[in-house]
Amino acid sequence: MSQSFTPIGQEMPGLDQWDVRHMSQSFTLDGAEVPFTPGQSILEAARNAGIYIPHLCWHPDFPAHGSCKLCVVKVNGRHVSSCATPAAAGIEVKSNSPEIREERKVLLQMLFVEGNHFCPSCEKSGGCELQAQAYDHEIMTPHYTLFYPDRPVDASHPDLLLDFNRCIFCELCVRASRDVDGKSVFALSERGIHKHLVVSSESGRLADTDIDPSDKAANICPVGVILHKRQGFTVPYGQRAYDETPISEQGLPNKETV
């Protein structure tokens, strides 16, 4: 669960006095000492210490999912998902290294070519986590050949639109609908390259589910798949989530916007 911390001290601005007293164990992250409490993941411990590790499928309200792999770090020579790897005393973690940054960049580029991400006319632009990560990783082109998958939109619901073109399979909507809303409106179907988001109704249409616009699932999509109808582009430039500060700053505990 997300917590609020009062920054103190120079090296670990995200920690307060309580943390310092109760964290006797630590590991190093890019050379810096990071304290942790047993059971915390590397990603969580780093966040609490004010160090951002990029992620897309991880969310403070849900258990680690480990599917997007964007939070990859190098631990004692092995590449692991930092959201799903417990912090351990004395380990050496590399996150902001050229090698790891390049690996994340490739993962992001593959996400871009796998779907149809047309940022110039996407209403999520400026508030999209995928786009924000791409900016942070200085991605100028998709680099790989675009797949151009055929993914028709579902506009059947009176208040919500599903634009599957932009799905990155983070399953946040699937988890939110099942674990918080108790409705299981969404699911992933098939595997590998054929994997896609489906709606759990007999017709397959969102209108035939009991989803409500106020549900957690309707408000958690990090990209532009689950959208509230007739709201697009009402927020002007300069006031969108990532216009002023990058996701690497906003993704820290006391700035979480998700």
Partner 1 sequence: MTFQLETASNPKGLRRIAIEPVSRVEGHGKVTLLLDDAGDVQQVRLHIVEFRGFEKFIQGRPYWEVPVMVQRLCGICPVSHHLAASKAMDRIVGALPLSRSAEKLRRLMHYGQMLQSHALHFFHLSSPDLLFGFGSDVAKRNIVGVAQAYPEIAVQGVKLRKFGQEAIRVTSGKRVHGTGSIPGGINKHLTVDERDTLKKDADQMVTWSQGAVDLIHKLALDGGEEFREFGHFESKMMSLVRPEDGALDFYGGVLRGRNADGSILFDGVSDQKYHDLIREEVKSWSYMKFPYLISEGKEDGWYKVGPLARVQNCDFIPSPLAEAERKTFIAARGGGVWHSPLAYHWARMIEMLHSAEVIRDLLDDPDLMEGELTRHGVRASEGVGIIEAPRGTLIHHYQVGHDDLVTMCNLIVSTTHNNQPMNEAVRRVARRYLNGRTITEGLLNHIEVAIRCFDPCLSCATHALGKMPLIVELIDADGTLVDKMVKND
Give contact residues for partner 1 (rule: CB under 8 A). 120-123, 152-153, 155-156, 161, 229-238
Pairing, β 25-29 against β 92-94: parallel
129-136 and 98-114 helices cross at what angle (nearest 10)? 140
Check if the beta carbon of residue 224 is closer than 8 Å to that of residue 232: no
Phi, psi dihedral angles at 135 (to 5 degrees): -65, -45
CB of 124 to partner 1, least distance (A): 11
Q: State the nearest-atom distance from the C-beta of 187 to partner 1, in Å.
A: 23
Distance from C-alpha of 118 to C-alpha of 131, rounded to nearest angstrom: 10
Name which of 57 and 199 has its Cβ closer to partner 1.
199
> In which region does residue 44 sit, left (phi positive, over 0), alpha (psi from -120 to 50) or beta (all else)?
alpha
Question: Which residue lies nearer to partner 1 by CB, 182 or 237?
Answer: 237
Residue 38 vs residues 2, 13, 28, 35: alpha-carbon distances, Å = 17, 20, 15, 10
In the complex with partner 1, the residue whose CB is nearer, 4 or 141, is 141
Nearer residue to partner 1 within complex by CB, 31 or 152: 152
* Least Cβ distance, residue 234 to partner 1 (angstroms): 5
CB of 225 to partner 1, least distance (A): 13
Question: What 3-state class would DSSP assign to 207?
Answer: helix
Beta carbon nearer to partner 1, 143 or 229: 229
Q: How far is the CB of 235 from partner 1 (least distance, A)?
A: 7
Among the residues of the chain, which ranges form H helices?
Answer: 17-22, 42-48, 98-114, 129-136, 172-175, 247-250
Q: How far is the CB of 118 from partner 1 (least distance, A)?
A: 8
Question: Closest Cα partner for 103 from 178, 53, 147?
Answer: 53
Q: In the complex with partner 1, which residue's Cβ is closer, 191 or 230?
A: 230
